[in-house]
Each structure stands twice: as structure tokens, then as C-alpha cells.
Structure 1
Amino acid sequence: MADVVVALEQPSRIKKGLQNDASVAFLAGGLAGAVSRTVVSPFERVKILLQVQSSSESYSGGVSSAVKQLYKEEGVKGLFRGNGLNCIRVFPYSAVQFLVYEGSKNFIFHVDGVNGNGRLTTFQRLFSGALCGGASVMATYPLDLVRTRLAIQTANLRKLQKAKATSMAKPPGVWQLLRNTYLQEGGIKGLYRGVWPTSLGVVPYVALNFCVYEQLRELVPSQSAYMLAIGALSGGIAQTATYPFDLLRRRFQVLAMGQSELGFHYSGVADALITIGKTEGLRGYYRGLQANLFKVIPSTAVSWLVYELTRDFIKAL
């Protein structure tokens, strides 16, 4: 009789354990994303400006000089412009990634944290990473689009001020940008402008990031220095491999902000790739890569470290 009771109780125990694991993954993943992006916020904004500027514009001379120039023109506030919205976006974005990844392990490949029954293969890690990357994009994309526009709009206003000797007007805020995009650019379709090239970049990036990190994680001790190192390595490899699509992601997000001022116009992803190659050469596909690596490498390292430490802390409570 006791064996029957244990057998009946076992599914509920496993379910409770998985639910706890899901909650831990969501909270730890969200916190990891918010902390890591705040650390590298100045590089994030410089990267966006480099990606969307024309070849004749003023942010040149390397990442450090671009950061100094941005600080000189807009102060400390300019270095972190858009970071509040970024944290609002990144918390669920990162949380969904880790939640879906753990869910994929538990329910698709039956590798869970309750019984510890095995590890994912390389293909399974890539599949789970791609799945969580796609889910996170769809869940938070409108905020990503608005954050990109928020990051560049003051730079555009500053250029107009120099050209026309006019005073800089106060740029629209987050909710006004969301509202204007929805009303003026086709509703939901406008809020998801650029989601296809974004997915082309984010999905393989997240897949590679999770796969490389977990592969390397099996080879190193559970120490902060090692976790930072392999987190940096996984982020650098993944971002470099998928960077041209990250550039397309930003350019498609800002196309409606003024094609004549930005200096480019594309009818689709294929047209964008061909046009960039013809007009900007091979280097055009990697415009802003250096700034992006300045952001991605420490950001990914901090994200994985904070995730693992937070997860272990919560589980120990």
C-alpha cells in the first residue's frame, strides 16, 4: 500500500520540482539580463549609432573615442540613454530565454533538474537555444524596436541642431514612441517591423551562446573566474558568427525614422544584404562589430555568472 501511495505522489513531486526550477530560471535569468546590460550600456548605445549611421557621419575613430564623443555631447545621461527601457525589455527577454531553455530540457528532451538524468547532446542544445531565442524575440520585440529608436533619436536631433542652428527639442518618450509607431506604421505590424531579420540574428546567436557555454561548462570548475571566462568566450563566438544579421536588425528597425537622413533603404533582407555589399563592401556587414564585442563579451560573461550565482542562491534558500 505504501508503494502505491509513493507512486501516486511521485508525479506531483516531480511537477512541483519542475515548477520550482522554472520559477528559479525565470527570476535568475531576468536579473542576469538586467545587470549585464546595465554594465555595458554605453557600448550598447555607441554600437547602435555606428550601425545606423552613414559612412560620412561623425562617430569614428574607434569605440573609445565614440564613447568620449557621446559623453562630451550628451553627458553621463547620454551614455545610458534608453537603458531603463532596455532593462524593462531585457528582464523578460532574458527570463524567457532561460525559462524556455529549461522547459525544453525538461519536457522535450526529458533532462531535468529533479532527477539529473543525463545531459543534452550538441544538437539538443542548439535546438533548445534556438527555441528560447525565438520565444524571447516574439515576447519583447516592440520594446526592442522602441529602445533602438530612443537610442538614436537624440543623435539625429543633435545633427539637425548643428545644421540648422536650432534649439534641441525634447524627444518623444517611450510610450509616445510606442503609440506613434502603432498609429502611424500599421498597428501591430509596425511594432514588429524588422522582426524577421532580428530573428535571423538572434535565434542562431542564442543557440550558439547556450550551446558553447554549456559545452565548456562541463570542462571547468564551478568558480566565478572560470564562469566569466567561458561566458565571455561563448558570447564572443556567437555574436561574431551572426553579426551581419544584428546589423540588419537595427537598420530595419529605424527605416521609418527618415530614410533620407539615414542614407539607406531596403525592400527586404536579400536586398539589404546585396545593397550593403555593393555600397559599403565587406566591412559594411561588420559596421559596429568592435563596439558590439565591447558590449557582448562582458555582458554575456556577467549574465551567465549572475544567472548561476542567483540560481544557486535561490535554490539554497
Structure 2
Amino acid sequence: MADEDYDYESLGENCTMTQNAFAGALAGIAEHCAMYPVDSIKTRMQVIQTAAVTTNTASPTLAIQQQVRTSTRNLWRGVNSVVLGAGPAHALHFATYEYCKDYYGANRQGHHPLASAAAGATATLAHDVLMNPFDVIKQRMQLRDSTYRSIRECARVVFAKEGISAFYISLPTTLAMSVPFQSIQFATYEYFRKVLNPNGGYDPSTHVMAGGLAGAVASSLTTPLDVVKTLLQTRGQSHDARIRGATGFMDAVTIIKERYGVRGFFRGFKPRVLTNMPSAAISWSVYEYFKWLLQSSVTHHHGQDHQPNLLPL
């Protein structure tokens, strides 16, 4: 039994990058699609609008009631952009993570939070460069007053009006948020996974609980950076000239602080945590399931007499 558990945990080195990427792609799509409407509410709450309409977005309850009254269907607007981007981006993300986790020594016995965090950070760099333009399109389409009918139309109009920089102006902020977010999430996940399941075998309840806890901790600590990122990614849709002219991270921070003070950096906090807890649980569960499935098929294919070949040298 111990050998089987070790084989499963060593999947990063036993399985091909393609198999890790495939499991990661499915995990990413499942994660984003399942919680997309809540993410839309979070985006709308974080957007800084004119004084006349900001009062409704201060409370999560009021925001949710307003969305239900408007139409629940428009909360799914822009989901195609996520599916299009999340598949390849998460494939790259998890494949890089598995490689780096092994390379940095996180697969060794015991707890190695720094190695897990470093692997998560490296994987995030690759993921965000690919995903950022899709995330910009997604957030533009999530806005309550968005008139875009398709992701192609949104991409074309944004490019025509604001140029290529619109798709990447938030990248430094995204990385400033995502690197700590993913580092915290991966390190927290690996820690709780090993605490809840010391044997290291496939256990769905462990992956759900560890994933949910990791998502909650990481999203709570990085909400202020997410608010800044949302402002930069949606600035072109704003009716406020000051926001439209935001030049980068520090400018966005200044605007938020001027308008709302410190509280402004926690706009959308509850829906962000409510999005990330289940989405991280879903992502890790789907990913670990496909890791286990692929490992089972590899074991079955090689047969019992070839088991020793699966063990690392």
C-alpha cells in the first residue's frame, strides 16, 4: 500500500508533461466555470463608479439582490473567454508546478512550504502571461453595463480604442497579486494535504478540504491587490476620466485610497472568498482525480510485474 501511495505522489516525475497539462486544463475549466456568477458579482462590486451608483455596491447582499433582479443570465457573460484561456493557461500552470515541485524538492518526505511556494510562484508566472488578456476580456464583459455580444467583439473594440497595452497594463499588478496568492495557496494546500492525509494516497475528502482552506487563506490575504487589478483591467469602460487615465499600480492605489480609504481595498471581499474557497476545492479535487486516474491507467498498462519501474531512482 505504501508503494502505491508513493507512486501516486510521484506522478509528476512518472507521468508525461502532456498528462499533467491535461489534468490541469480540466481542473482550471471546472474551477472557473463552477463559480463564474459569484466572480461576476465580485467584479461588479470592486469596480469604482461615479458617486451616484456606488452606494448599491457597498454590501454583498444588496449587490446579489441587484444582480438577481437585473437577470441571472448576464452573470455568465464572458465565461467563454475563461474557458478559452483557462484550459491552456492551467495546463501550463499545473505542468510547470509538477516539474518545479520535484525540481525544488517539495516531493520529499515531510513539509516543505518554501519549496511548494516557489513551485507555485514559478507556475504562476507562466500562467498569468498567457491568461491576462483573457482575464481583461472576461472582466470587461462582466460589467453591468457591458454591451459586448462576444469575446471577439470585446477584444477587437478594446484593441481599437486602447491598443495592445490594455491587455497587459494590469499584468504587473496581476503578478504582484497572483505570485503571493498562488504561493500561499500551494504551500497551504500541500501542508493541509499532508496533515489530513499523512499516507499521501488519493483521498477526495482531503483534496476538497485542503483545497478549500488554501483558497480561503490565499484569497483573504490578497484581496487588496485584486481590487487594484480590477480597476486597471476595467478602466477603459469607466465614465470617470481619472480612472480611465490610470497609468499603473501606484496610480490605481492612490485613486482607491482617495475615494474610499483603506476600506476601499476590501471591496468584494466576501464574494472573492466565497468564489475562491469552492473553486480551489474544485480545482484541486479535479486535478488530483485525474492524477489518480492517469496513475491507475499507467499501473494497469504496465502490469504488476513492471511495478518497480514506476519508482523513482
The answer to whether the superposition gives a TM-score over 0.5 is: yes
Are 1:292 and 2:272 matched, yes or no? yes
More deviation, 227-236/258-267: 258-267
Are 1:73 and 2:73 matched, yes or no? no
Identify if the C-alpha distance between structure 1 residues 41 and 277 changes in structure 2 by more than 3 Å, giving closer, same or farther.
same
Superimposed CA distance per residue, residues 49-86 of structure 1 (whole angstroms, 9 cap, x where no aligned partner)? 00114364364474344233213212x42122222221
Equivalent-residue separation in structure 1 for 2:160 and 2:242 (angstroms): 22
Are 1:20 and 2:15 matched, yes or no? yes
More deviation, 255-264/30-39: 255-264
What are structure 2's unaligned runs of at least 5 residues?
1-10, 298-313
Question: For 1:219, what is the secondary structure of its paired residue?
Answer: helix
Aligned pairs for 1:167-178 (under 5 A) are 171-178=148-155
| CA positional deviation for 1:23 | 2.1
Contact kept? 1:101, 1:132, Cα under 8 Å: yes
Which residue number in structure 2 is paired with residue 51 of structure 1? 46
Which residue number in structure 1 is paired with residue 179 of structure 2? 203
Identify if the C-alpha distance between structure 1 residues 262 and 90 changes in structure 2 by more than 3 Å, giving closer, same or farther.
farther
| CA positional deviation for 1:24 | 2.3
Match of 2:276, as an amino acid?
Answer: V
Contact kept? 1:50, 1:288, Cα under 8 Å: yes
Which of the residues 162, 170, 190 maps onto 1:185?
Answer: 162
Equivalent-residue separation in structure 2 for 1:251 and 1:122 (angstroms): 32
Which residue number in structure 1 is paired with residue 6 of structure 2? none
Question: For 2:240, what is the secondary structure of its paired residue?
Answer: helix
Match of 2:40, as an amino acid?
Answer: R
Contact kept? 1:259, 1:265, Cα under 8 Å: no
Contact kept? 2:92, 2:127, Cα under 8 Å: yes
Equivalent-residue separation in structure 1 for 2:110 and 2:94 (angstroms): 16
Match of 2:96, as an amino acid?
Answer: V
Match of 2:181, as an amino acid?
Answer: Y
Equivalent-residue separation in structure 1 for 2:219 and 2:296 (angstroms): 33
| CA positional deviation for 1:122 | 2.0
More deviation, 237-246/224-233: 224-233
Give the TM-score taking structure 1 as reference length. Answer: 0.80
Which of the residues 207, 211, 218 maps onto 2:194?
Answer: 218
Aligned pairs for 1:93-104 (under 5 A) are 93-104=89-100
Superimposed CA distance per residue, residues 166-201 of structure 1 (whole angstroms, 9 cap, x where no aligned partner)? xxxx534211221222333233x2321211111111
Which residue number in structure 2 is paired with residue 4 of structure 1? none
Equivalent-residue separation in structure 1 for 2:205 and 2:56 (angstroms): 34
Equivalent-residue separation in structure 2 for 1:62 and 1:171 (angstroms): 27
Give the TM-score taking structure 2 as reference length. Answer: 0.81
| CA positional deviation for 1:26 | 0.9
Alpha-carbon RMSD: 2.5
Match of 1:139, as an amino acid?
Answer: L
Which of the residues 224, 227, 240 maps onto 1:244?
Answer: 224
Which residue number in structure 2 is paired with residue 84 of structure 1? 80
Which residue number in structure 2 is paired with residue 260 of structure 1? 240
| CA positional deviation for 1:156 | 1.9
Match of 1:86, as an amino acid?
Answer: V
Are 1:35 and 2:30 matched, yes or no? yes
More deviation, 120-129/286-295: 120-129
Match of 2:93, as an amino acid?
Answer: Q
Contact kept? 2:27, 2:282, Cα under 8 Å: yes
Question: For 2:54, what is the secondary structure of its paired residue?
Answer: coil
Which of the residues 123, 126, 129 maps onto 1:132?
Answer: 123
| CA positional deviation for 1:19 | 7.4
Contact kept? 2:28, 2:90, Cα under 8 Å: yes
